[in-house]
Amino acid sequence: MSDQTFPAGFENLKKFAPDWVLQGPLEKQQKRSERPLSVVKAFNDELYPEMERIIDYLKTVPMDGMSEADKNLYRLAATWMEMSHPVDLKWNDTDERDVFPFERIHLVEPSPSD
């Protein structure tokens, strides 16, 4: 991603952009499964206090016509949501190893605004 900016007031989140502003569910799933639980937990814990503010802001932004900065914030929030369930559900790992491999799943439609 070339433009890793965030909307005004969210500049403090730029440090997350290189690793956590991800597009599409498969990219998020792959990132989650490749990272150790300690890394995912650290990301979850650090971004958690910002999530209410992020959601409140995104509620004011129309989905069609989002700026790239708004899309980055949306993607960061969506990535956090994907990463939070191993932490919330107290998994011992970031992935379930004995299930159908996600790499073989082919989605036919992109997520909105991704």
The pLDDT tens digits of the residues spanning 60-80 come to 999 888 999 999 999 999 999
The residue written with tokens 């569910």 in the block is 25
Dihedrals φ, ψ of 44, to 5°? -55, -50
Domain count, the chain: 1
Please state the pTM of the whole predicted model. 0.80
Q: What is the pLDDT of residue 7?
A: 96
Q: What is the pLDDT of residue 49?
A: 96
Mean pLDDT of 19-41: 86
Residue at 66 is within a domain: yes
Q: What is the pLDDT of residue 99?
A: 63
Residue 25 has pLDDT above 70, yes or no: yes
Q: What is the pLDDT of residue 1?
A: 44
Residue at 61 is within a domain: yes
Residue at 7 is within a domain: no
Range of the domain at 66: 26-104
Buried b (16+ CB within 10 A) or exposed e, 6-27: bbeebeebeebbeebbbbebee
